[in-house]
Chains A and B, each alone.
Chain A
Amino acid sequence: MNVFKKFTVLTLATMFVITSAFAGSAAAAGDTLKGKITINGSTALLPLTLQAAKEFQKLHPKVSFAASGKGSVTGPQAVKKGIADIGACDWDASTDVPGFKAFEGQVANKVAVIPFATVVNKNVGVDNLTTEQLKGIYSGKITNWKDVGGADEDIVVITRAFGSGTRVNYQAKALGGGDIVKKSKNYKEVGSSGDMKTAVATTPNSIGYIDLVYVSGDIKAVKFNGVEATAENVINGKYKIWSYGYYMTKGQPTGEVKAFIEYIQNKKFQTTTAKKMKFIPLSAMK
């Protein structure tokens, strides 16, 4: 190479080094959080996760997210296998729940309060159901609406599949640990909250259970032991069918994962965004 070329290369290289040093320090001065956070698990928490990710990315542009969801138990499993940093789960996966063993070594971080409601099709005339009545309906002992104060029609039971966080929590809180028994007729299992909503809305004489946030004009929520399913009743303790949503992490969360979880648990997020999405703020629960 002739002298001129060598000179150009040297200058360019020096410029490059200097500018990158400046850029590096500028970046260091600004925001230190970077990395990729992978979240897997419960689909019920997915809307919350996606919205929180969007807001978090505005504050920390260097952090990128990849979220997926197919069922609560895939969350802690993905964390265990190392595929995901956070496992969203509708129950505390570090403890035993009926049907699932505890996941050792994982830490449960509460991120939301999820209320559930018993829902019926609009043509059902019943307004209130007690624990005993619900237990009877779901165990198959009560098969006609007239036994609980409705019309003389067969009850069509719609339930979530085994492994659904919604089902685990509903069985624990509304049925008092009672079973959901599969029947040979008038019984259907659905795979997601949206499917549950569509199924109950389009099937006359049907009963199901769903996150309160999905209840809208097409389906009717019934009172539980005389208490209406509202956020206030959950906060003041009268309405019992609710649970925490958890983010499972391998050990205590660190770095950007910790920052993200703290962002969600922060009162500001909980009382604005989470509340707008009809979750109940963590801070409201005593």
Chain B
Amino acid sequence: MHTPISEQASQSSILGDVTSKSKFNRAARVRFTNRLFQSYFLFSILALCFVLALVIVFIAKTGFLTFETVSFKEFFLSFNWTPEEEHYGAAAFIVNTIILTGLTLLISVPISIAIAIFNAEIAPAWFRSFIRPVLDLLVGIPSIVYGYLGLTVLIPFLREWTGEGLADGIFAAALVLSLMILPTISRISDDAITAVPKKYREAAYALGSTRLQVILKVIVPAASRGIMTAVILGMTRAIGETMAVVMVIGNTAQLATTLFTPTSVLTSNIVMQISNVEFESTWNYALHMMAFLLLAISMILILIIRFIRAKGGAQA
């Protein structure tokens, strides 16, 4: 009668023009689900931030204790890492890490992106559906297996090739790492290139371009965001890789003067020594500081890559 309708009207006025009870329920349900999931997504990003904060605080808390006993200058500028004699100079590791990352990217990025382009644009469909699972497979191979293969197959080969007594060093590590991050970069780039809408391609072809021109001038710039993410994720995986690097890099705390001197980078040094030092020692703090440095270096390299892309001129 009068009351129910007005009641209904006052309720439905929030939602718009609804006249029957069932529609009211559905609309409310939909709005409720919307709100619910919005909160859920917000919760997940907060959870992620919490984890990030946890990791950063954990590393930084112990890391910064180093500076109670070691001066900034010594830690960052000295090349002498002999903790048994109280020398905590991490400069050699910092430089080596940057060299290793640069070399790895130099080797793997062109090849990975070429594979991604090949996969997405040029290869026939049977090849595509075949190579994708195989590339994903490469990611699942444990890093120790890569390390072991590097040790038993790559190093003897390098030894023959260069005549060195011990062919461990930055070059071997860069080769192993390139192989490890190849699937990451190429798969994510592949997805980015595939996601470029067909109409871009069709427009370019309509203007009379060859396939290469379409790829280089239209598709790659359009997919540059995704490719950039792929390169960054591959690079960060390479920076943080420990087990495989440890087996082929020689683990000597000195600057990499040639491609084949046994050296050490931040990650390999941390892994080799963290299990063998006492918790409350400056050595342990210095190792945590090196982990923090890894974060900082990786952040700087990420900013550089983003900057390169921005200069490349693509739109956000």
Which residues in A have some Cβ–Cβ distance to B below 8 Å? 70-74, 77, 81, 99-101, 153-154, 156, 161-164, 182-191, 195, 198-199, 202-203, 205
Would you call B253 and A161 a contact (CB within 8 A)? Answer: no
B246 within 8 Å of A by Cβ? yes
| Contact of B22 with A by CB under 8 A | no
Determine whether the beta carbon of B273 is less than 8 Å from that of A161: yes
Extra contacts besides A154-B165, A185-B165, A195-B247 (14): CB < 8 Å:
A71-B276, A81-B279, A156-B165, A161-B251, A161-B276, A162-B276, A186-B166, A188-B252, A189-B251, A190-B247, A190-B251, A191-B251, A191-B272, A205-B165
Within 8 A of A (CB), among B269-285: 271-273, 275-279
Taking Cβ atoms with an 8 Å cutoff, the residues of B that contact A are: 83-84, 148, 151-152, 155-156, 165-166, 168, 246-247, 250-254, 261-262, 271-273, 275-279
* Cα separation A198 to B248 with both chains bound (whole Å): 12
**B275: chain A residues within 8 A (beta carbon):** 70-71, 73-74, 163
How far apart sit A186 and B250, CA to CA, in the bound complex (Å)?
Answer: 9
Sample of 27 A–B contacts (CB below 8 Å): A70-B275, A72-B276, A73-B275, A73-B276, A74-B276, A77-B279, A81-B279, A162-B273, A163-B273, A163-B277, A182-B253, A183-B252, A184-B261, A185-B166, A187-B250, A188-B250, A188-B251, A188-B252, A189-B252, A195-B151, A195-B247, A198-B151, A198-B152, A199-B151, A202-B151, A203-B166, A205-B165
Q: Is the CB of A161 within 8 A of B272?
A: yes
Q: Chain A nearest CB: distance from B251 CB in Å? A: 4
Contacts of B278 in A (CB 8 A): 73, 77, 100-101
A185 to B152, CA, bound (A): 20
Cα–Cα distance between A202 and B156 once the two chains are bound (Å)? 8
Chain A nearest CB from B171 CB (Å) reads 15
The residue in chain B whose Cβ has the minimal distance to the Cβ of A199 is: B151
Q: Contacts of B253 on A, CB cut-off 8 Å?
A: 182
- In the complex, the chain B residue whose C-beta lies closest to that of A165 is B276
Distance in angstroms between the alpha carbons of A188 and B250 in the assembled complex: 5
In this complex, what residue of A is CB-closest to B148?
A: A198
A239 to B246, CA, bound (A): 33
Residue of A nearest to B147 (CB): A195
CA A3 to CA B55, docked complex, whole Å:
60
Most A CB atoms within 10 A — which of B261, B273, B276, B278? B276
Tally of contacts, chain A with chain B, CB under 8 A: 80
Q: How far is the CB of B243 from chain A (nearest CB, A)?
A: 9
Task: Name which residue of chain A comes closest to B168, CB basis.
Answer: A188
Closest to B251 in A: A189
Give the distance in Å from the alpha carbon of A74 to the alpha carbon of B84 in the complex. 18
B84 and A162 contact, CB distance less than 8 A: yes
Chain A residues with CB below 8 A from B84, complex form: 99, 162
Residues of A within 8 A of B151 (CB): 195, 198-199, 202
Interfacial chain A residues near B165, Cβ < 8 Å: 153-154, 156, 185-186, 203, 205
Inter-chain CA distance A183–B32, complex, in Å, is 68
- Does the CB pair B155–A202 fall under 8 Å? yes
**B156 to A187, Cβ gap below 8 A?**
no
User: How many whole Å from A62's CB to the nearest CB in chain B?
Assistant: 32
- B contact residues around A186 at 8 Å (CB): 165-166
A74 to B199 CA separation, bound complex (whole angstroms): 60
Residues of chain B with a CB closer than 8 A to A185's CB: 165-166, 261-262
- A101 — which chain B residues lie within 8 A by C-beta? 278
The CA of A183 and the CA of B166, in the complex, are separated in Å by 12
Chain B residues with CB under 8 A of A153: 165
The residues of A that contact B272 with a CB separation of less than 8 Å are 161, 189, 191
In the complex, which residues of chain A have a beta carbon less than 8 angstroms from the beta carbon of B252? 182-184, 187-189
For the complex of A and B, the 6 pairs showing the least CB-CB separation, nearest first, are: A163-B276, A71-B275, A189-B251, A70-B275, A71-B276, A161-B272
Bound CA–CA A33/B262 (angstroms): 51
> What residue in chain A is nearest B167 (Cβ atoms)?
A203
B151 → chain A closest CB, angstroms = 6
A206 to B166, CA, bound (A): 9
Chain A residues within an 8 Å CB radius of B155: 202-203
Cβ contacts under 8 Å, B254 to chain A: 182, 184
Query: A182: which B residues are within 8 A, CB to CB?
Result: 252-254
Give the docked Cα–Cα distance between A187 and B155 (Å): 14
For the complex, what is the distance from the CA of A185 to the CA of B167, rounded to whole Å? 10
A73 touches B277 (CB 8 A): yes
A154: chain B residues at CB < 8 Å are 165
- Give the residue name and chain of the B residue nearest to A100 (CB): B278
Assembly CA distance A187 to B252 (angstroms): 7
- CB–CB B276/A156 < 8 A: no
Q: How far is the CB of A150 from chain B (nearest CB, A)?
A: 14
Assembly CA distance A186 to B261 (angstroms)? 8
